[in-house]
Amino acid sequence: MGLKINLYRRFAGLGAAALLGGAQFIAAHTLIAVNDPSRQQAQATTVQTTILEAVFITPTPTPMPFTVQVPFEGKPRLTSYFDHNTPNYRRNGQVVIYTGDSSFDCDPYCYDGHSGLDYGMVVGTPLFAAANGTVIKAMQLSTGYGIHVVVKHDNNYHTLYGHMSEISVRVGQTVKAGDIIGSSGNTGNSSGPHLHFGIYRTTNSSSVPNETYATDPFGWRNKTTPDPLINFPTTGKGTAATCLWRSDDKDFYHCNDVLIEDSGLQAAVLTGAWLQSPVGLDGSHYISNAENIEDAAHADWAVVITQSGLYQIDAFIPSRNATTRQAKYRIYTGNNIWQEVLLDQLPYNDEWVSLGNYELPVGNSHVWLSANTGEPANKTRVAADAIRFRRLGAASLPKPSPSITPTAIITPSVTPTAKATITPTATPTITRLNLPLLINPVQP
Ligand SMILES: [Zn+2]
């Protein structure tokens, strides 16, 4: 009863805008009442109560899901993923990453039991808070995480920034996402300059996080097997990871993205002569001579679409070797249905370039790239790096016709710059298969 009185008081104190909102509610409810004339009178009374409750009992906001943004600028290489299989720094002989890919031994490319993400970066790189929160630790240790900061966030999450060179916040200080907290370094138990970024989910918001509560901001992407994190610390007692990356377009991690790399287990299949080069997203890309040989060499990025809709498809173009002016991509939007896109790769330097938006049905989809560009042999090179599928929402485009549509030419708006020539690191291969887990070649 007290609650109701309070609600009416608040109603009395509200301005015209809120009343207008109330009027809109009345209109909607009246329509329902008109559809059922026999109960119209009774409902007319109910409507008034409903309006007040609808408008005033709901102000308790549902908490927004917790998200993080990358705690640095640029695209440093992710040198070690979170190990979903017992992230306690002890060796159990198996590393499982967020895609479900696993390996019995990935040393030295990743760590068995790693409970965070490592990003290789030069000492002194500015670090930022990954989300709003309060600094609860600002420690200078010579071992372990070395100089490190822990920030406590909403929803009982904590973030840890390890092996720093200096700290520019103090315990008790509130920080906003993106506020500088210090600089990266190589302190503590660290084998090279890098940031160790850890995320913890605790049941007790005041406790200092420990590895028992470690989780993975990439979540768990594998649809066929359960997240082994559910068995940490005790069988069946853990919590499956959920994707925590904030989903703003400017962020290069996005919870709705499916990323297919050029190497690793969840990667493109390359057929014909391709050479690996040690630059690009996650530290490599493949190159081929652009030759006028019908589709002799091609790359194919396959993906299983589990939710139909409108997808933005992007290609990552590395800073080197991508010198073709007309890379030929085919975007498959169904069985043997594709649209061809010609992309001038030359102007781009380590950036995502849109191949367009496409309506994709549930099932297999893929992006295909030919090394046959029609340009003179040995003059230009085609680069194959990662392809990204980003779901924009429900499909709203007209269905493509079931034949090849006219070729679109994506013309870049930036001035072309010269690219360095190749430094191949591998001999040409025929169909590349069974690559090791490691997605991230070691950074010296
Ligand atoms: Zn680490």
How far is 281 from 131, CA to CA, in rounded Å? 25
Distance in Å, CA 319 to ligand 1 centroid: 27
How remote is the CA of residue 182 from the centroid of ligand 1, in Å?
17
Q: Residue 191 pLDDT > 70, yes or no?
A: yes
Measured in Å, residue 94 CA sits from the centre of ligand 1 at: 17
Least trusted range by pLDDT, from 187-191, 352-356, 431-435: 431-435
pLDDT, residue 59, reads: 52
- DSSP helix, strand, coil percent of the chain (3-state; round to 5): 15, 35, 55
> Which has more confidence, 258 or 106?
258
Cα of 437 vs centre of ligand 1, distance in Å, is 18
Residue 417, pLDDT score: 54
| Cβ contact 304:362 at 8 Å | no
Going from the Cα of 252 to the center of ligand 1, the distance in angstroms, rounded, reads: 20
DSSP H or E segment with residue 164: strand 157-167
User: Would you state the pLDDT for residue 203?
Assistant: 67
In angstroms, what is the span from residue 267 Cα to ligand 1's centroid?
24
Determine the distance separating the centroid of ligand 1 and the alpha carbon of 180, expressed in angstroms.
20
365/176 Cα distance (integer angstroms) = 40
Residue 219 has pLDDT above 80, yes or no: yes
Ligand 1 centroid distance, CA of 52 (Å) = 53
Provide the pLDDT confidence category of residue 199 given band limits of 50, 70 and 90.
very high
Least confident of 105-114, 301-310, 403-412: 403-412
* Ligand 1 centroid from CA 195, angstroms: 7
Condensed to tens digits (0 to 9), the pLDDT of residues 221-280 reads 777 889 999 999 999 999 999 989 886 555 566 777 788 888 765 688 998 889 999 888
Distance between Cα 117 and ligand 1 center (Å): 6
pLDDT > 80? residue 404: no
Higher pLDDT, 237 or 398: 237
Question: Tens digits of per-residue pLDDT, 65-74?
Answer: 888 999 999 8
Q: Return the pLDDT at 335.
A: 84
For residue 79, how many C-alpha atoms fall within 13 Å in the half-sphere facing its CB? 18
Predicted local distance difference test score (pLDDT) of residue 411? 52
For residues 26 and 33, what is the distance between their CA atoms, to the nearest angstrom? 10
CA of 278 to the centre of ligand 1 (A): 22
Range with the poorest average pLDDT among 8-22, 49-63, 382-396, 417-431:
8-22
6 Cα: distance to centroid of ligand 1 (angstroms): 53
At 139-152, the pLDDT tens digits run: 999 999 999 999 99
What is the model's pLDDT at position 265?
59
The pLDDT of residue 43: 39
Distance (Å) from CA 174 to ligand 1 centroid: 25
Of the chain, the percentage scoring pLDDT greater than 70 comes to: 69
CB neighbour burial string for 127-165, b if at least 16 within 10 angstroms, e if fewer: bbbbbebebbbbbeeeeebbbbbbbbbeebbbbbbbbbb
Of the spans 196-200, 292-296, 421-425, which averages the highest pLDDT? 196-200
Q: Are 351 and 276 in contact (CB under 8 A)?
A: no
| Axis crossing angle, helix 40-56 with helix 2-12, rounded to the nearest 10 | 80
Distance 22 CA to ligand 1 centre (A): 53
Residue 290: predicted pLDDT = 76
Position 4 confidence tier, pLDDT thresholds 50, 70, 90: very low
CA distance 136 to 239: 24
Average pLDDT over the chain, rounded to whole?
76
In the prediction, which pLDDT does 253 show? Answer: 67
State residue 294's pLDDT score: 67
pLDDT range class, residue 286, cuts 50, 70, 90: very high
Tell me the percentage of the chain whose pLDDT exceeds 90. 42
pLDDT tens-digit readout, 12-54 = 233 333 333 333 322 222 222 223 334 344 333 333 333 333 3
CA–CA gap between residue 368 and residue 56 (Å, rounded): 54
196 alpha carbon – ligand 1 mean position (Å)? 4
Average pLDDT estimate for 285-312:
85
Residue 317: predicted pLDDT: 95
Return the number of other C-beta atoms located less than 10 Å from residue 1's C-beta. 5
Between 117 and 273, name the one with better pLDDT: 117
Q: Per-residue pLDDT for 113 more than 70?
A: yes
**What distance in angstroms lies between residue 163's CA and the mean position of ligand 1's atoms?**
9
Residue 305 pLDDT > 50: yes
The pLDDT tens digits for 153-168 are 988 899 999 999 999 9
Amino acid at the residue 191: S
State the DSSP string of 348-371. Answer: -SSEEEEEEEEEE-SEEEEEEEES
Sign of CA dihedral 131, 132, 136, 137: positive
